[in-house]
Amino acid sequence: MENMLKDFEVEAKNPSEAAQRRWRKAVTIVKNPRRRFRMVADLAKRSEGEKKKLKIQEKIRVALYVQKAAIQFIDAGGRAEYKLSEEAREAGFSIHPDELASIVRGHDFKGLKIYGGVERIARKVSVSLNEGISENDLPTRQKIYGFNQYTEKPSRTFLMFMWDAFLDLTLIMLMVCALVSLAVGIPTEGWPKGIYDGLGIIISIFLVVMVTAISDYRQSLQFKDLDREKKKIFINVTRDGKRKKVSIFELVVGDIVHLSIGDQVPADGIYISGYSLLIDESSLSGESEPVNVHEEKPFLLSGTKVQDGSGKMLVTAVGMRTEWGKLMETLNEGGEDETPLQVKLNGVATVIGKIGLTFAVLTFLVLVGRYLLEKALNNEFSDWSSSDALTILNYFATAVTIIVVAVPEGLPLAVTLSLAFAMKKLMEERALVRHLSACETMGSASCICTDKTGTLTTNHMVVEKIWISEKIMEVKGNASDDVLKSEISGNVLGILLQAIFQNTGSEVVKDESGKDTILGTPTESALLEFGLLLGGNFDAQRREFKILKVEPFNSVRKKMSVLVALPDGGVRAFCKGASEMILGMCDRVVDSNGESVPLPEEQEKNIADVINGFASKSLRTLCLAFRDIDNTSSENNIPDNGYTLIAVVGIKDPVRRGVKEAVQTCLAAGITVRMVTGDNINTAKAIARECGILTEDGVAIEGPEFRSMSLERMKEIIPRIQVMARSLPLDKHTLVKHLRGMFGEVVAVTGDGTNDAPALHEADIGLAMGIAGTEVAKENADVIILDDNFATIVNVAKWGRAVYINIQKFVQFQLTVNVVALVLNFVSACISGSAPLTAVQLLWVNMIMDTLGALALATEPPNEGLLKRPPVGRGVSFITMAMWRNIIGQSIYQLAVLGVLNFDGERLLKLSGSDATEVLNTVIFNSFVFCQVFNEINSRDIEKINILRGIFDSWIFLGVMVSTVIFQVIIVEFLGTFASTVPLSWQLWLLCVLLGSVSLPIAVILKCIPVGRDTVKHHDGYDALPTGEERA
Give the start-end residues of each E strand in 199-303. Answer: 234-239, 242-247, 256-259, 268-280, 291-293, 299-300
Is 280 catalytic? The answer is no
Compute the chain's Rg from CA coordinates: 36
Q: Which of 168, 216, 451, 941 is catalytic?
A: 451
Instruction: Give the amino acid at 387.
Output: S
- How distant, in Å, are the alpha carbons of 50, 279, 291 from that of 302? 19, 11, 14
CA distances from 1014 to 630, 683, 877, 881 (A): 71, 41, 7, 8
Q: Where are the alpha helices (DSSP H) in 837-915?
A: 839-847, 853-857, 881-908
8 Å CB contact between 787 and 489: no
Nearest Cα neighbor of 167 from 131, 118, 124, 216 is: 216
* 838, amino acid identity: T
576 Cβ neighbours under 8 A, 6+ residues apart = 499, 503, 527, 559, 560, 582, 622, 623, 624, 625
Question: Cβ distance 845 to 929 under 8 Å?
Answer: yes
Residue 576 region, left (φ>0) first, then alpha (ψ -120 to 50), else beta? beta
How far from chain centre, in Å, is Cα 728? Answer: 26
Reduce the DSSP state of residue 1030 to 3 states and report it: helix
Integer Cα distance of 859 and 802 in angstroms: 9
Looking at the chain, the number of H-run helices and the number of E-run strands are 40, 26
How large is the angle between the packed helices 881-908 and 999-1007, nearest 10 degrees? 150
HEC profile of 161-213: HHHHHHCCHHHHHHHHHHHHHHHHHHHHHCCCHHHHHHHHHHHHHHHHHHHHH
> With contact defined as beta carbons under 8 Å apart, do 669 and 1018 qualify?
no
Q: What is the DSSP letter of 79?
A: P
DSSP letter assigned to residue 264: B
Q: Is the peptide bond before 15 cis (omega within 30 degrees of 0)?
A: no
Q: E strand or H helix at 1003, and its extent?
A: helix 999-1007
* Cβ atoms 505, 310 nearer than 8 A: yes
φ, ψ for residue 474, nearest 5 deg = -85, 140
- The one-character DSSP state at 287 is -
- Contact 693/675 with Cβ under 8 angstroms? yes
Any residues with CB less than 8 A from the CB of 68 and at least 6 apart, and which?
A: none
Backbone phi, then psi, for 277, in 5-degree steps?
Answer: -75, 115
- Compute the distance between CA of residue 842 and CA of residue 821 in angstroms, rounded to an integer: 8
**CB 807 within 8 Å of CB 856:** no
How many other C-beta atoms can be found within 10 angstroms of the C-beta atom of residue 989? Answer: 17
Geometric angle at alpha carbon 703, from 702 and 705, rounded to 5°: 70
CA distances from 750 to 262, 454, 745, 870 (A): 16, 11, 16, 21
Query: CB atoms < 10 A from the CB of 143, how many?
Result: 13
CA distance 854 to 857: 5
Q: Is 1016 exposed, middle or buried (0-12, 13-18, 19+ CB in 10 A)?
A: middle
SS3 letters across 712-749:
HHHHHHHHHEEEEECCCHHHHHHHHHHHHHCCCCCEEE
Q: Which residues are identified as catalytic?
A: 451
